[in-house]
Amino acid sequence: MHDRYDAFDEGQRAVIERIEDLLAVRMKDARKRHAHSLGVARCACYLAKTYGVDAYLAYTAGLIHDWDKVLPEDELIARAVHYRLPIAASPVLAAPLLHGPVAARELPELFSELPEEVFQAVARHTVGAEDMTPLDMVVFVADAMEPGRHGSHADRLRELAGTVSLEELFLTCFAQGLVYVVETGRYLYPTAIDIYNHYVLKQQKGNA
Ligand SMILES: [Fe+2]
Ligand SMILES: [Fe+2]
């Protein structure tokens, strides 16, 4: 058995193997996305162990977090509208973020072995929230710092991981994403500002 399974019991390994098999089929034409998904799973597992979060939930959420990223945008928009997902902007503007919430709506049926927390982490890996759980944060950060991510933002997260609180690590990661969106002239999803302010003020209170 591969060493990445060391932390898991037999039942958990069986679930992981089933997810990995289905993921390989789902992403057979998206090799980079497949490698990224495996990287996020392993990185989320590492962060979970570092910060006392359930490694199995982190690993499985990492595996499936981009499950619907292989869908075309118009399909994601159609599904988001069909499911009446709460979207803080027009579905067209929010399209790059929809693969998280859409997958979270659909995957509980396919992976009924997994608890609700996993699907919440999948939903929130794109949009974030003001009440992120430790699992949500681990998956969010792992998405940006898995080994396939390069550049100063990912390097900074790797430096900080384990040396600052999970919430501080998440805030750094979230702020990096926000800066990137603004710097590249992309549409800023409206809730991002509230989420950023929420965690900045929390940090300031904690440091006061
Ligand atoms: Fe994603
Ligand atoms: Fe991702």
**Neighbour-count burial of 106, counting CB atoms closer than 10 A to its CB (0-12 exposed, 13-18 middle, 19+ buried):** middle
Give the distance (Å) from ligand 1 centre to CA of residue 23: 14
**With 70 as the cut, is the pLDDT of residue 4 above it?**
no
Closest C-alpha among 208, 203, 52 to residue 133: 52
Give the distance (Å) from ligand 1 centre to CA of residue 35: 13
For the chain, the domains span 3-207
Ligand nearest to C-alpha 68: 1
Q: What is the pLDDT of residue 1?
A: 36
Ligand nearest to C-alpha 125: 1
Q: What is the pLDDT of residue 9?
A: 93
**With 50 as the cut, is the pLDDT of residue 2 above it?**
no
Q: What is the pLDDT of residue 140?
A: 98
Ligand nearest to C-alpha 101: 1
| Helix spans in 52-190 (H) | 55-64, 73-82, 99-110, 116-127, 134-145, 152-160, 166-183
Q: Express each pLDDT in 98-154 by its tens digit.
A: 999 999 999 999 999 999 999 999 999 999 999 999 999 999 999 999 999 999 999
**Are the C-beta atoms of 27 and 70 separated by less than 8 Å?**
yes
**Are the C-beta atoms of 189 and 174 separated by less than 8 Å?**
no
Give the distance (Å) from ligand 2 centre to CA of residue 203: 26
> In this structure, what DSSP letter does residue 67 have?
G
CATH class for the domain made up of 3-207: mainly alpha
Give the distance (Å) from ligand 1 centre to CA of residue 43: 15
Give the distance (Å) from ligand 2 centre to CA of residue 200: 24
Question: Binning pLDDT at 50, 70 and 90, where does residue 18 land?
Answer: very high
Query: Residue 1 contacts by C-beta under 8 Å, 6 or more apart in sequence?
Result: 13
Q: Express each pLDDT in 154-205 by its tens digit.
A: 999 999 999 999 999 999 999 999 999 999 999 999 999 999 999 999 999 8
Rounded to a whole number of angstroms, the CA Rg of the chain reads 17
Give the distance (Å) from ligand 2 centre to CA of residue 143: 5
**Neighbour-count burial of 78, counting CB atoms closer than 10 A to its CB (0-12 exposed, 13-18 middle, 19+ buried):** middle
Q: What is the pLDDT of residue 5?
A: 66
C-alpha 72: how far from its chain's center? 19
Q: How many C-beta neighbours within 10 Å does residue 26 have?
A: 19
Q: What is the pLDDT of residue 90?
A: 85
Neighbours of ion ligand 1 (CB under 5 A): 66
**With a threshold of 0.85, does the pTM exceed it?**
yes
